[in-house]
A and B are shown apart, each in its own frame.
Chain A
Amino acid sequence: MNEQSTENEIIEAIRSGQSDGIQQLYKRYYPMILNLIKLNGGKSQDAEDIFQEALISLISNIRKPGFTLTSKLSSYIYSICRNMWYYKIRGNKGTIIDTEVLNSVPDIDHLPEMETFEEKHKLIAQVFENLNKECQQILHEFYFLDRPLKDIGVEMNYTEGSIRVKKSRCMASLKKFVEDHPQYAQLFSYE
């Protein structure tokens, strides 16, 4: 992978877990985002944080089945970063915003929604690591990658019925681990 690689080649590299795909994203687009953030009252640390978050969102989408990019990668990354930065500085009245720069790229349709996580989700993620690898894979593919259970079953040599039972048991184990955790009562309360 080099500077001449096409966007599709970069996407393919990211999909198959090759690190040079992500490296190319950094090389090509980080200076652009650094510039955007600095022109709008941010510092290089802000640019690093925003760019990292945007990449996480992009990579997780690329790895979902059926993902197709309908715009240029640069526009996609720029739009996510711009929106995230806008959102972050909205409450900060002291920040000078160059609206011309912020508005210079049209909005991309269907930008991914940013999910917010709490302490309890960090705890679940910690406990998740205690599940066996098979359970981790099933839950990750079904709930994160949104893959149909049937496809996961085919890949893992299970019938649709068996994979459904497996997933159900994995979820029950996760539930039990979380409920047994010493911080459960403190972090989880439902009305």
Chain B
Amino acid sequence: MLKIILNTLNYLAMSNQELIEKFLDNSLQSEDQILFDITYKANSDFRKQVDFYSDLIKGVRFASNEKIREEVRQIHHQILPDLLFENDLRQSLLLRERESIKNEILAAKPTLIEETKASQTKVIRFFSKQALAIAASILLAMLLTVFYINQRNKTLDDAQMILVTKSIENIKQRAQRTGFADQEKMFHELQSKIFNLLESGHKTEALKENQAFFISKSEDYRYDQMQGIIFLKSGEYKKAVRSFQTAVTKGDECISKSMVLILDKSNFELNQKLKQEIKQTEACEQFEWIKQVIDQLN
């Protein structure tokens, strides 16, 4: 009994400062915790001190979190363009594989029909006419899509496709890295918005956003540059080339010039000249991907 009383007296004698020290050392025992909680509720000065220290601890954790964030961010910017490119390439190859299987099936179809007729096998009807009609229209839609994509893509070869995909991914990444110190912050935000719209299939809205942003700045080459990117992402290569060429005439020395270089192989001499110009333009050195384009086209 005496021991309990002595302990209680000891606890009551413990100063608030000691309690806070124990709290900061994570060494509050269960008895201390009870006293701590009571004091916290009853004493507003004590509560303010504890809340402030809790914020300090949280701030320390935030600082440590930020260091990890920076570590991750660096790797993110270093690795993501290539990773996304690999992903796109993988999907394209998959699509190509599917198309070739589809072609095999289509090629095999007449042979199968002939074989069926020849053997005069009685065909058991598994599907209703309606189901067959739906299946036929889906197949037709798929074939039309493949035809349409082929038509739009036929002007680009594999090497061009790879360079275009990489370039666009780099432009997108750069736009998304915008920060407070970015002098082109608003333009980069517009670019991010347009890339998001394009990803969700809203090409017309993307074009409208671009027009609205440059409404009173018709001589700004970034309008044509962005329009070129929109057409490029939508597979309209001829329009894209025209937009990039306009941007070049308005003074886009790096991005649009590089895009023309990738997309338009028709004039060898002009391309050689463009390459030289890009190489000699100091401002283009900030774009690592442009250097790669020049190297690969050499």
A residues whose Cβ falls under 8 Å from a Cβ of B: 19, 22-23, 26-27, 30-31, 34, 43-45, 48, 52, 55-56, 59-60, 115, 117, 120-125, 127-129, 136, 139-140, 143-145, 149, 164, 167-168, 171, 174-175, 178, 188, 190-191
Contacts and interface: CB of A to CB of B under 8 A. Distances in A.
Contact of B80 (A26, A121, A190): A26
Q: Which 6 pairs, one residue from A and one from B, show the smallest C-beta to C-beta distance?
A: A124-B59, A125-B63, A144-B64, A190-B48, A128-B63, A121-B62
Interface in B152-211: 176, 192, 196, 199-200
A153 to B, nearest CB: 13
B62 A52 contact: no
Nearest to B73: A52
Contact of B52 (A117, A125, A139, A190): A190
Nearest to B76: A52
B68 A56 contact: yes
A52 B59 contact: no
Contacts of B75: 19, 22-23, 26
What is the predominant secondary structure among interface residues of chain A facing chain B? helix
Contacts of B192: 45
Nearest to A63: B68
B69 A128 contact: no
B60 A140 contact: yes
A23 B25 CA distance: 36
Contacts of B57: 143
Interface residues on B, range: 35 or more
B61 interface: yes
A117 B58 contact: yes
A48 to B, nearest CB: 7
B103 interface: no
Contacts of B47: 190
Contact of A140 (B64, B69, B80): B64
A100 B72 CA distance: 30
Nearest to B66: A125
Contacts of B176: 45, 48
Given A52-B76, A168-B24, 4 more contacts: A34-B87, A59-B72, A140-B63, A188-B55
B224 to A, nearest CB: 25
Contacts of A31: 83, 87
Contact of B65 (A43, A56, A139, A167): A56
